[in-house]
Amino acid sequence: MKYTALVPVKSLEAAKSRLASHLTAEQRASLMLDMLHHVLQTLQVSQVFEHVSVVSADTRVLQQAQHWGAQALVETQAGHNPALTAAATHELLQGADALLTISADLPLLQVADIGQLVEESRCHDVVIATSQDGTGTNALLTHPPLILPYKFGVNSRYHHQNEAQKRHLSYTVHHSLGLSLDIDTIEDISALERYDMTTFASCGRLVL
Ligand SMILES: Nc1nc2c(ncn2[C@@H]2O[C@H](COP(=O)(O)OP(=O)(O)OP(=O)(O)O)[C@@H](O)[C@H]2O)c(=O)[nH]1
Ligand SMILES: C=C(OP(=O)(O)O)C(=O)O
């Protein structure tokens, strides 16, 4: 089975808006790029994926992504779900059998998390990796790609579950630290202090 990974990244000036009262625009951009780098490296080191793609409307993001060995896909449809759908269609046409869509803001992501998702996908059409509170989706692995529509946004975990149920697809819900701790708020950055900061030093620099 040919696995491909797809990482959506918002334009840097709009990214991490919930941190705007704590970090400058350049700090938010650096944080976003550092986290993207970590996620791309983890995906690459896992040696699961034929290639890793980044979809974004931001030239700086796409240039960095290419520099870090990912394929750069220009966002042809604006917004999280439309951008992913267009990029996933591209991946399907390139021959992907299975597609992992994963957030760029997962500083504690580890190779073992990716391995677990892939193992779970061997027995299920759809694997949904939830955010810390269980309501969001930080990663979605399906085979084939686009077997269900992207429903990222509020309560997306339940929307993805419902879409799978409607289509009588077999699905499982995954929860692990590395896939659940996404960095949206200042509390999320503080939460990182409870874990091994050497895993992701740049967040530490921001809170120190
Ligand atoms: N290409 C693309 N990616 C997006 C878009 N919106 C969100 N993303 C990405 O989707 C993932 C989850 O995004 P969010 O946590 O909702 O957005 P964020 O910018 O990280 O944070 P907020 O601005 O605080 O909502 C991250 O990898 C984002 O960069 C979009 O419109 N286009
Ligand atoms: C992060 C999510 O979506 P959005 O980026 O649309 O807020 C989500 O669905 O958990």
Ligand nearest to the CA of 156: 2
- pLDDT over threshold 70, residue 48: yes
DSSP 8-state code for residue 39 = H
Tokens encoding 127: 């694997």
pLDDT digits (tens, 9 = 90+) for 61-120: 999 999 999 999 999 999 999 999 999 999 999 999 999 999 999 999 999 999 999 999
CATH at 71: 3.90.550.10
Q: For residue 156, report the distance from its CA to the centre of ligand 2, in Å.
A: 7
CB 43 within 8 A of CB 114: yes
CB neighbour burial string for 128-143, b if at least 16 within 10 angstroms, e if fewer: bbbbbeeebbbbbbbb
Report the residue among 9, 80, 133 best suited for mutation to probe ligand 2: largest number of ligand atoms under 8 A from its CB: 80
Closest CA to ligand 2's atom 4: 153
Ligand 2 cavity residues, CB under 6 Å: 80, 131, 136-137, 152-153, 156
Question: Per DSSP, what are the bridge partners of residue 74?
Answer: 56
Report the residue among 31, 77, 80, 182 best suited for mutation to probe ligand 1: largest number of ligand atoms under 8 A from its CB: 80
Query: What is the C-alpha to C-alpha distance for residues 32 and 16, in angstroms, rounded to an integer?
Result: 8
The reply to whether omega before 144 is within 30° of 0 (cis) is yes
Using a 10 angstrom Cβ sphere, with 0-12 exposed, 13-18 middle and 19 or more buried, the burial of residue 113 is buried
Sheet of 3-9: strands edge to edge? 71-74, 49-56, 3-9, 98-102, 137-142, 126-130, 171-174
pLDDT digits (tens, 9 = 90+) for 173-208: 999 999 999 999 999 998 887 885 555 555 545 543
Question: Residue 155 CA: which ligand 2 atom is closest?
Answer: 9
97, 139, 151, 192 from 109: Cα distances, Å: 23, 11, 22, 12
Ligand nearest to the CA of 21: 1
Work out how many domains the chain is built from and give that number. 1
17, 45, 143 from 160: Cα distances, Å: 25, 28, 14
**How many CB atoms neighbour CB 45 within 10 A?**
11
Structure confidence at residue 201 (pLDDT): 52
Q: For residue 6, report the distance from its CA to the centre of ligand 1, in Å.
A: 13
List alpha helices for 16-123, DSSP H: 25-45, 59-67, 80-93, 111-121
Q: For residue 21, report the distance from its CA to the centre of ligand 2, in Å.
A: 20
Query: What is the C-alpha to C-alpha distance for residues 179 and 73, in angstroms, rounded to an integer?
Result: 23
Query: What is the C-alpha to C-alpha distance for residues 198 and 92, in angstroms, rounded to an integer?
Result: 37
Strands 137-142 and 126-130 come out as antiparallel
Query: What is the C-alpha to C-alpha distance for residues 1 and 14, in angstroms, rounded to an integer?
Result: 36
Cβ 184 under 6 angstroms from ligand 1: yes
Question: Percent of the chain at pLDDT above 90?
Answer: 91
Domain of 57 in residue numbering reads as 3-207
- pLDDT over threshold 90, residue 122: yes
